[in-house]
Every structure is written in structure tokens, then in C-alpha cells.
Structure 1
Amino acid sequence: MSHPSIFHILILPVIQALLICLGLGLAIFVLIVLLLVLPHEYFIYQPRAMAALKSTETQINLLKGQPSPYLLPADLLKNAAAKVLDDRDIYRKALVYGPDPGYEPLRNSIAKWLTAFYQRHLPSDGTDARRICITGGASQNLGCMLNVYTDPWYTRTIWIVAPAYFLAFRIFEDAGFGGRMRAVPEDSEGVDIDFLREEIQKSEEEARKEGRDTPMYKPGRQRAKCYKHVIYCVPSFANPSSRTMSLDRRRDLVKLAREVDALVVADDVYDFLQWPAEAEEVERIEGRIWAEEMIEKKVKPFMDGVLGMKATAHLPRLVDVDRELEGGTEREGADGFGNACSNGSFSKIAGPGIRVGWVEGSERFAYGVSQTGTTCSGGAPSQLTSTYVHELVNGGKLQEFIQHTLRPAYAKRYKLLMKAIEEHLLPLGFSLPQTDRKIIGGYFTWLSLPEGLKADILATRAKADANVIIAPGSMFEVPGDDGLKFETSIRLCWAYEDEEKLEEGVKRIGEVARVMLDEAEKGEFVVVEKERDNAAEFK
């Protein structure tokens, strides 16, 4: 039997020890590299998140900005479709190419419906079908209007009131304005006019230096014009900020648009979803007020059964301001196209799958939209479903549905969400905009986070740890413009989820936020400064 050699006794153990040390050193080196490269928050909560997902029963989605699937007028649409398809005179028109401006009966019924709703803000003759063009919804129409009324060379800039509806960005990019979108901040009354005026002046100076004084791609068209600027906003119950632009600010915006040859595109998709902030019985109170107003004005309701339902808006649209202010669109020196349009849609009140909307502007403007190439080739958008929608609007069924179903339901959901926010979030340092509003509406609530929280991390943590989905403010930043950030704000939607999930969702957000604030106090994750509310700081 051989004896162990000196190699086995002395050298081999040393080599093994060196290899072990080398392996440990390499592992430590890799760990240090990962700590430096990967986001800091990854190491804070990822292991805990996996366990949290297993323990949370139901996902709650407060990001999705869609109508509740339980608040869609399926029966009304079924009856309307049956009526259309049983009537040969109607379906023969519905199943062929529609006229360029859209299904005429629907244009007429929309005109009467809008006249009743905006009655106090319109001239005595209201609006009429010549000012209206039927569209395939607000998004499709935004693309059509850009095709008709802008030139990628001549149109200087797309000005977007921010925080902004993020899915509109791609529409502007597809129209040739990638890299030429600019964010315009809001203040307590809406769009910051002073900021916008100053930045437009800079844009004009650049255009003059570059010689962009005539359209390059769309010259010499009689049916339309090219505006120098486009201003995009949601004036009432904005998505996402929930702010409403004041009347004075609406007038100032129209005046500025006239000065600089801008088209103000107003998404007025939430106007019909509004109610008094303090009303306990929204349906009863609104019905009484509206009935009294109509009787006092001696206005005959345009549709059967509508008396007793409030159908008046609290503010005029920008297109109404443009129509009436200082001579309107036909004032001396004006070209007749106007400087504001109202982009309307049935998506929020009758269902987005219908794909029917309308645009209102001056007669000349509406005609220009109707002459977009896709319409002239394919006929009016959504011709068949337009006939269904006409049956709802003209018969008063849609307004009845809005009044008796949608407004009370959304008002209740809003109050449930706000109660939960007051209980679970405000004590942590969250804050709300425009807390003194007398009229509430739309789908959304915008919240500023307490010091020490970052929205992207909160959204990630809320989903991972509590199975609740929220929209971080960064989603609503205008791409290519780093001057306006919303990394300490979030948007919550009260429309989509069921009532019982709203309070639970906010409660979960509060629990996650409380943990994050504790971590921030201990220095365990990134602390960011809260963005400043003063719009002047963004210049």
C-alpha cells in the first residue's frame, strides 16, 4: 500500500482552497455587476412579489379607460338593428356606399340632440346638419383631419395639452409629425396660454428661417386648407388629468388660435357624462333643473320622452366659442374654415365597438373632412351602424339611457372611488386637482403622489404585490419633449371596474404606497422630487 505523496498532502489542498476562493470571488464580482446594472428596485421587491401574486385573489384594473361591459345598451342596439334590417327602404341605404358627409338622418338627429344639450350656449337656431360630418370615431377622425388640414412641411408643430391622451401620439406620428409634438402644461384653469403663445412665437421664427411659408405636399386645394399649427386638447373632464378648462380660458385659446392660424382639435367625448358634484340623487335633480330651464326658455324638446332629463352642458365647447366670438367664423377677413372643431364619439356612451362618431365645425370645415380620400373612395365611415345609432338618437332612447343608466352609475362609482381615496390615499400625502369643482364628469381621477414615491415604481409594485393595475404619469408624457414630466402622478379610471372593486383597488394601492414610503424613509429605494405645479417652471 502506497503512502500519500507530498502533492496530495500539501499542494492539492492549497489548489482546492485557491479554486474555492476564486469561485467565491467570481460570484461576488457577478453580484456586484448585477447590482450596478439592474434597476435598484428589482432587488427590493421581486422575491416578495412572486409570493404576493399567489395570495391576491382578483386582479383589479384601474388603468383601462373603457366603459363598463355591464353598462352597454345591447338591447337598445338589438332593437335598432332589427328595425333597420326589417325596413327595406332603410337597409338599402345602409348596406351601400354612404354619402360623403355621412348618413343624413343621423346628421340631422345629432344636430337636434346637440342643440338640446348645448342650448344655453348656442344661437337661437342651434346647430344643423351642414356643420356635421359622420366619422368612424374620434380616433379615426383625428387621422382624417390631419390628412386634410395639415402639411408635414408647412404645419409647424402639434401642440398637445399635457398630461395627454397617450394613444393620440401615434396618430400624429403617422401623419408625419414624429419629433414635432410639443407638450403644453395645464394650470388651474386649463391650458397655459402664456406658455403656448411664447412657444408658438419660437416655432414661427424657426419656420421663417427654414422658408416653410407655403404648403409643399398639399398645395392649391379649394376644398380644404393647411393650418400652421394644431392644438390638441380634451377641454372637459380631460383624459388623464380630469381638469375642465374654464370659459375665459376657452375664449383665450380661440383668440390665440385665430392669431397664429391654428386649428384647435377638441376631443369632446366626455361631455354627456357630467353631473353635479354635490348631488345625492343625480337623476332626479338633473331632471328637475333641466325641465325648469326648458319650460322657462319655452324650448320644445326635439325627441319624445326627453322632457324631464337634463340635457344642457355646463360650458360651451370650443367650437361654440369660435362660432360666436367676435363675429365667429364668418367675421371679416376670416376664410370660413374656423379655428376650432369638436371631435365627438358614441364610444363612451353607446360602446366603442360601434365605431361611429361625428365632427362639428363650420360648414366649410365639415365639408373638407367629408372629402378625405378614404371617404370619397369607400363611402361614409360606419354607414350600417350609423343607421342603428340614428334610431337611438332620434327616438330619444340614447338620451334616456344616458340619463337613467350611465350618469347615475358613473356618478356612484366616482363617489365610491373618491371616498376610498379620501380614506386610504390622502392621509399618505396624495393630492387631487381642482377639488372645488361643481360639475364632475368623464372617466378619470388624476392623483399626485406624496414626496418619495415614483409613479412607474408604484405601478409596478401595485401590479406585482397587490394585483392592481394603474396608469403611471409617464404614459401621458409627449414623446420627444422632455420639458414636461409626470413621474410623480397616476391616473385611476372609475368607469371600467365594478363598484365593489373600486374601493378594494384603492385600498391595495394605499397598502403598497405605505410600504414604499417606509422603504423610502429607510433609504431602501429611489426617492424623487415631486414635479412642480407652477406651469412657468416648465418654460
Structure 2
Amino acid sequence: MSMDAPASLNFFKGHPSFRLLPNKEIIEATTELLTPDKRKFDSDTENRHPLTYGSDQGALWVRDTICSFLNDNVFKLSNDSNVRSTSECLNLNSGASYGILSLLLQTTLAQTGYTKQAFIISPTYFLINNCFIDAGFSGKLTAIDEIGYDTIDFNTLEKKIQECEDQANNDESTECIDNPESDKKKKVYKYVIYTVPTYSNPSGHTYSEETRLRLIKLARKYDMLIIADDVYDILNYDEDISNDKDLLPTPPKRFVHLDRQTWSPTIDDPFGNTVSNATFSKLIAPGLRFGYHETVTPSLAFQLSEGGANISGGTPSQLNSMIVGTMLKNGSATKILRNLIATYKERGEVLYNSVKKCLPQRTDCDVIHGGYFIWVTLPDGYNMEEVQRRLNAKHEVILANGSNFEVIGDPKGWGRRSARLSISFMEKNEIKEGIRLFGSVCQEYATELGLPF
């Protein structure tokens, strides 16, 4: 079922309620940016006028501003920390979805067999499969299960990698994507793994630092790129920030931080093994279509910026990147974020309490610690797909059934009993009513089949 199907109550949509979209702040930032006849950076080749073609890697002042925001406001890293973000390790882009496809096109080569396999943590973001298939990975996608709330199935992952290694053909090359007129050869990885490591979409889980470090070690061993969709991690609802109007919660260190922290210039790949694929869609507004890649060293960020489209047209979100940069500088982005966090935290509490009150007693679901989503699993005997069908037909309520979150070609059967519920789109009273109706359908189903409720 589509998230845009007609419905009175929609738990599928993963974007902010319209009332939360910051119209006024975006107008003010755009006015601040474009009102002057000239800006000091207009003729600077690393920045350029906001309405002209941008530099390949994106405006330097915007990259610097994002780094300051991440280092000082979000992760609160000391000035001498070796994991601090730097502008030369950032490549600006048009949001996480385009960022993923750009990454796959610029760092993998599935069509020739050079990149042997893609691994996707399952359950996964429901639209990510298309990006991998566009990049040539049809038939080369392997699902790796989450285990518990903070780790993944490493045994299966390493077993599958080893199977690929045993079948490896050492004659593959990257010539088909190298420019014959350039002496630079692209860094292409032999494996790639996709994950949403903090407040995952769809499960809501967050991987421990031990899990992250173990995966980095494995990636270095097998020449694997870890793509981390870092799109929800600042939306943390466990940390109390109410007493300081300028404070933002502190997320766990990202994969790129830990890779940089443990990276050795004499031993490890000069391009690193992790990319933070981040966006401001979840933090300000999806329609801005602006995000960034962060890499361990400048080498990979530069390669990503030198793709054919960037060479032709410059950074893809020149104007919007500067609007966001202005909002980071004038403080409005922090105010917007704090409002989103407070709103979503309240909605998350309402959703969890409603699930516990209205759904079958042995329904499995965790408190929502951050991000947009909660993952619910009905007890044995229930059929989530049938419950969902009845809920929509009778009450016009849409759920995101677990079958949406499979890895194509390697299904795990998530649709039988599980569903993802979103807190971002509906108000608290709508969430309460939607879960009440969900529970009533479950109760009717249980009565029909003689199941405990």
C-alpha cells in the first residue's frame, strides 16, 4: 500500500506535519541571503554567487558552517579532537536519496563484478532497493538482520563475504569508469553495506559503539564501504535539553567519526571505509533537498565532488545550501530543531502508551528514543497484512506493513506480523485515535480466530 493512498489517518508518511514546516524562517533566511546587491563571497571561486553555478564540492563557507554546527553544537567535540569534521571532508549534495545514488555510482562497480556484493541491514528503508538496482546490484543484494536493539548478524555477514571471496576473479578492473585522459584512478570498493545506524528507519534501533567499531574493522579487512544514512541521529528524545534554549542533544559518534578516530595513514585505505550520508530534510524541511557526504579523509569527498554532473553544473543545491547555511548561522535552524524534538518526543510517548493500552498484550514494541519510527510486532497467530487490510478498508487508517522493508531478492518475512508506525506526520489526538482503531481491528481478529488479546 502506498503512503499516499487516500486515508483519514496515515501512519506511513515519514515527513513533518505541514504546520511544522518553517515557512517564515526560510523566507527570512532567503531574504537575508539575497537582499544585498553583493556578498563578499560572490566572486570567490570556492563559494560563488548563490544564484549561479556553485563550486564542485559546494560553497566553502557553507561547509565550514556545517562543520562548526556538527562539532560544537551537536557532537560537542573538543577543539583538539581528531574526529572533528573539516570542510575538505564534506561534499555538498541534493539530499540523502540522491547522495546514496551518487555514492554507489562513484564508488562501486557491480556490473563488471569488481564490486562483488551489496549488503543491506534488514528490515531496511523501504525505497533504498531502487538506488542499488539502478547502480547495477540487481541479484547482488544480501539482507543482514538486526539482532536485538543494538547490533547486527556479523556471522552471516562475514560468511557471505567469505563465500564471495572464494569465488573471486582477480582479473576485474575499473577501466570502464576511469577517464583515459586522467592519471587519477577512482577508488572503487569490493563490497558495500547500507545501514541507518541511529534511530533506524524502520526499526528505531541504534547500534552500539562496539557494533560500529566491529563493522569498521570488517570493512577494512575486506575493502568494504559502509554507507551510513545519518538522517535521524540529532532527533534524540532521551536527553533533556529543556533548560537551555540553545542546547541540542548529543548523538552517538557516527561511523565516520569512529573510522577517523581509529584510522592509520600508514596502514589503512587513504579513502577510508565509511561515508556519512546526511541531510537537512528531517531537521529543517524535506523540500529544501539539501544534504552532504562526510568522508574520513579529503580523498573520497573530492572524488565524489568530481563526478560528471558536478563537473558540468557544480554542486547541485547551490541556492538551498546557502539558505540552510544562513539558518545555521543565524540560529533559526537550532530553534526549528528544538521545536521538532519537543513535538516528536510528545508524540512518541503518546504512540508508545497507546500501543501498550490498545494492542494485544504480547505485542512487541520499544519506547521511541529518537527519529520518526516505532516498529511493532503482533503476537504469534496474528496476520499483520490481514489486520492492515481490514484497518484500511473499515477505518481508512494506513500502516506501513513490514513487507515494505524487505531487501529485494532476500526477504525475511517482516510483513507477517510487523509494521512501522511514524510519529512525524500526525498530531497526538490523531495518533491516539489511529491506535485505538488498530486495536479494535486486532480484537475483532482475535475473537474470530480464538487468539489471546
Q: Same fold (TM over 0.5)?
A: yes
Q: Deviations over 1:45-94 (max 9, x none)?
A: xxxxxxxxxxxx97100011111211111111000111122122247711
Residue in 2 that maps onto 1:88: 37
Residue in 2 that maps onto 1:127: 85
Say whether residues 1:169 and 2:117 are aligned partners.
Answer: no
Separation (CA, whole Å) in 1 of partners of 2:164 and 2:413: 18
Q: Which of 184, 187, 209 is the matching residue for 1:247?
A: 209
Report 1:65-464 matches (<5 A).
65-90=14-39, 93-116=49-72, 117-120=74-77, 124=81, 126-152=84-110, 153=112, 154-188=114-148, 189-208=150-169, 211=170, 213-215=172-174, 217-219=176-178, 222=184, 224-276=186-238, 282-285=240-243, 287=244, 308-325=245-262, 328=263, 330-361=264-295, 362-403=297-338, 405-427=339-361, 429-433=362-366, 440-464=369-393
Change over 3 Å in CA distance of 1:486–1:199 after alignment to 2: farther
Change over 3 Å in CA distance of 1:223–1:393 after alignment to 2: farther
SS at match of 1:335: coil
CA deviation after TM superposition for structure 1 residue 521, in Å: 2.5
SS at match of 2:120: strand
* Higher Rg: 1
Residue in 2 that maps onto 1:511: 440
Separation (CA, whole Å) in 1 of partners of 2:38 and 2:450: 71
Separation (CA, whole Å) in 2 of partners of 1:494 and 1:380: 33
CA deviation after TM superposition for structure 1 residue 384, in Å: 1.1
Report 1:37-56 matches (<5 A).
none
Residue in 1 that maps onto 2:427: 498
More helix by share: 1
SS at match of 2:145: strand
Separation (CA, whole Å) in 2 of partners of 1:444 and 1:482: 21
Q: Deviations over 1:288-333 (max 9, x none)?
A: xxxxxxxxxxxxxxxxxxxx533352410000010012xx1x4323
Letter in 2 for 1:160: I
CA deviation after TM superposition for structure 1 residue 400, in Å: 2.2
Letter in 1 for 2:230: D
Separation (CA, whole Å) in 2 of partners of 1:426 and 1:234: 29
Separation (CA, whole Å) in 1 of partners of 2:16 and 2:175: 42
Q: Check conservation: 2:125, 2:201, Cα contact below 8 A.
A: yes
Change over 3 Å in CA distance of 1:121–1:228 after alignment to 2: farther
Change over 3 Å in CA distance of 1:122–1:516 after alignment to 2: farther
Letter in 2 for 1:190: T
CA deviation after TM superposition for structure 1 residue 397, in Å: 1.6
Q: Deviations over 1:110-145 (max 9, x none)?
A: 010010211248852622111111110000011111
Aligned length: 430
Say whether residues 1:468 and 2:397 are aligned partners.
Answer: yes
Q: Check conservation: 2:382, 2:446, Cα contact below 8 A.
A: yes
SS at match of 1:65: coil
Letter in 1 for 2:98: Q
The percent identity for this pair of structures is: 32
Separation (CA, whole Å) in 2 of partners of 1:230 and 1:511: 43
Separation (CA, whole Å) in 2 of partners of 1:149 and 1:164: 21
Change over 3 Å in CA distance of 1:475–1:216 after alignment to 2: farther
Letter in 2 for 1:196: L
Letter in 2 for 1:418: Y
Q: Check conservation: 2:7, 2:398, Cα contact below 8 A.
A: no
Question: After TM superposition, where is structure 1 displaced by more than 6 Å over at least 4 residues in a row?
Answer: none
Q: Deviations over 1:422-465 (max 9, x none)?
A: 110152x21114x5x8xx10000001111112222222111101
Runs of 5+ unmatched residues, structure 1: 1-56, 288-307, 523-539
Separation (CA, whole Å) in 2 of partners of 1:105 and 1:58: 44
CA deviation after TM superposition for structure 1 residue 97, in Å: 0.7
Q: Check conservation: 2:241, 2:248, Cα contact below 8 A.
A: no
CA deviation after TM superposition for structure 1 residue 218, in Å: 2.4
Separation (CA, whole Å) in 2 of partners of 1:485 and 1:498: 27
Change over 3 Å in CA distance of 1:334–1:192 after alignment to 2: same
Q: Check conservation: 1:223, 1:371, Cα contact below 8 A.
A: no
Separation (CA, whole Å) in 2 of partners of 1:518 and 1:180: 43
Q: Check conservation: 2:277, 2:293, Cα contact below 8 A.
A: yes
TM-score (norm 1): 0.76
SS at match of 1:388: helix
Letter in 2 for 1:82: T
TM-score (norm 2): 0.90
SS at match of 2:270: coil
Change over 3 Å in CA distance of 1:121–1:494 after alignment to 2: farther
Letter in 2 for 1:180: K
Runs of 5+ unmatched residues, structure 2: 1-5, 43-47
Separation (CA, whole Å) in 2 of partners of 1:456 and 1:218: 44
Of 367-376 and 217-226, more deviation after overlay is shown by 217-226
Q: Check conservation: 2:125, 2:405, Cα contact below 8 A.
A: yes
Separation (CA, whole Å) in 2 of partners of 1:122 and 1:105: 19
SS at match of 1:217: helix
SS at match of 2:68: helix
